[in-house]
Structure 1
């Protein structure tokens, strides 16, 4: 299942939708017509992910059994505005140096354990949201990443148990200002500028991605391919990352973990041409979708 957070052009509020090939399914409106109860928002769903997903599936199945035409409950993308897939996560963790080709291209050493840093919720942005470049930035770079969404509260779990804590996955762009990033030994100020963590367009539940560590990942800058790799090239697996993070802190539903970027970022270039206003970035991960943002 692919779940989106959105606002409607004509109806105030935040909504939870199911992304289909034909459009966004207004699942709450469908549930209301069936006198069924489902989570009203992503925040509600995160209170009990498994139960909430079951309720949503039951509504869709019931509609099928009753021969409801789902076309009557579909929204065109022109009717909505995407919102960041999670609203105000407690934690946004990021893993650095998690693809060998990227490590080598930047002159680093292959780490023996995940290298964690952080962004804050102010950095979140949505699919198709324009990203303003702050005046303080000088060397802005893109980083295509698979993002883990936590669905259960866990602490100090093994790798096998870590899988049970995962709600699903989305696409992220770990936008970075390299001048600020390397201004000190802490990368934070170059990583968590406003809107420097666009995510989306949807959360794909983990049951739809049983082989998450073999997905093509690609970035296009103004239509030109600049990153072209696979999550199979990650040094540390999804389960390893979640397990390792949980040794240091309790992970809670809605926490997000960016899993690192492959080679092809601007930082690796001998004559870098940094991102600028009017640039367009399209990040595609197989079976998840495409995250698109323009810079202004």
Structure 2
């Protein structure tokens, strides 16, 4: 399933969980209620707020449990008339599908060619840093560039969503802890990032990091270790690689990170970016006001965000 967060255009109100069905967006909780009532499970239908939260901030905190609850909803939608709870893609705005993760863990220098373009050696251990939820925006929202930032850069990244609590996980079992995958664009203020040894200040500016357009459940991503990753600026291809080139693959990352800290449902792991970032070009080419940054990952999707300079 492609699980997403949506709002109907022109109707203010909280975002709700939905899923893609034939290029339309279906309200997830309402479809789940109908499925339960069609099977005479009125008690389950009436408990929808607890079992299948409509609030995206809550949904993924339930992890694998809630995803298992809704797997049959897609089949139900395919077999039944759900037009009254289905919306044309053009009529909705997509928000970031996981708006309030407990942790956003990022991996730096995880492609050898990217480490080289940053004049760095290949690390012996994963280079970890953090973002926070204040940085996250949706797949169609504006990337906010503070006026004092001169070197804003893009970084296309496969992003894993944790589905159940993980501590001291063995790499052979690591993929069982993933709820699904999405796209992250680790926008980085290089001038802030590089002015101290610690990168955090350049990595978690308000409303700077697009994530989306949806979370593709792990059962539909058959080989996350071999997905093509691309980025474009104003239509010009900048990055092109596959996740097969990761120095530390996803099972290793989950094993390594879960040995340091407990991962919880809804946590995000941004797995690193390939070469082709603006800072690595000669001369460097950073994004500016009105630039369009597009990120694509095969089997996941595509998102496109415009950069806007904030005057204050």
Taking structure 1 as the reference length, the TM-score comes to 0.94
- Give the corresponding residue for 2:15: 14
Instruction: State the alpha-carbon separation in 1 of the partners of residues 72 and 170 from structure 2.
Output: 32
Preserved contact between residue 152 and residue 286 of structure 2 (Cα < 8 Å): yes
Match of 1:164 among 171, 176, 196: 176
Preserved contact between residue 63 and residue 162 of structure 2 (Cα < 8 Å): no
Match of 2:94 among 67, 82, 88: 82
Instruction: State the alpha-carbon separation in 2 of the partners of residues 267 and 85 from structure 1.
Output: 29
- Give the corresponding residue for 2:280: 268
**CA pair 63-82 structure 1, distance change in 2 beyond 3 A:** closer
Match of 2:59 among 45, 48, 54: 45
- Give the corresponding residue for 2:252: 240
- Give the corresponding residue for 1:2: 2
Instruction: State the alpha-carbon separation in 1 of the partners of residues 61 and 152 from structure 2.
Output: 36
Deviation at residue 59 of structure 1 after TM alignment: 3.1
- The number of aligned residues is 294
- Give the corresponding residue for 1:202: 214
Instruction: State the alpha-carbon separation in 2 of the partners of residues 121 and 258 from structure 1.
Output: 13
Residues 1-296 of structure 1 mapped to structure 2, 5 A cutoff? 1-9=1-9, 10=11, 12-34=13-35, 35=37, 36=45, 37=48, 39-41=52-54, 42-64=56-78, 67-296=79-308
Instruction: State the alpha-carbon separation in 2 of the partners of residues 29 and 262 from structure 1.
Output: 40
Write out the 4+ residue segments of structure 1 that deviate beyond 4 Å after TM superposition.
none
Deviation at residue 55 of structure 1 after TM alignment: 2.4
> Any gaps of 5 or more consecutive residues in structure 1?
none
**CA pair 16-109 structure 1, distance change in 2 beyond 3 A:** same
**CA pair 72-121 structure 1, distance change in 2 beyond 3 A:** same
Deviation at residue 72 of structure 1 after TM alignment: 4.2
Preserved contact between residue 142 and residue 265 of structure 1 (Cα < 8 Å): yes
Deviation at residue 88 of structure 1 after TM alignment: 1.5
**3-state SS of paired residue (1:90):** coil
Instruction: State the alpha-carbon separation in 1 of the partners of residues 290 and 270 from structure 2.
Output: 25
Preserved contact between residue 295 and residue 302 of structure 2 (Cα < 8 Å): yes
Deviation at residue 44 of structure 1 after TM alignment: 4.2
Instruction: State the alpha-carbon separation in 2 of the partners of residues 157 and 33 from structure 1.
Output: 37
Taking structure 2 as the reference length, the TM-score comes to 0.89
Deviation at residue 231 of structure 1 after TM alignment: 0.8
Instruction: State the alpha-carbon separation in 2 of the partners of residues 163 and 28 from structure 1.
Output: 27
- Give the corresponding residue for 2:40: none
Preserved contact between residue 174 and residue 191 of structure 1 (Cα < 8 Å): yes
Q: Could you say what the CA RMSD is over the residues aligned between the two structures, in angstroms?
A: 1.7
**CA pair 47-273 structure 1, distance change in 2 beyond 3 A:** closer
> Any gaps of 5 or more consecutive residues in structure 2?
38-44
**3-state SS of paired residue (1:183):** coil
Preserved contact between residue 143 and residue 209 of structure 2 (Cα < 8 Å): no
Deviation at residue 51 of structure 1 after TM alignment: 3.0
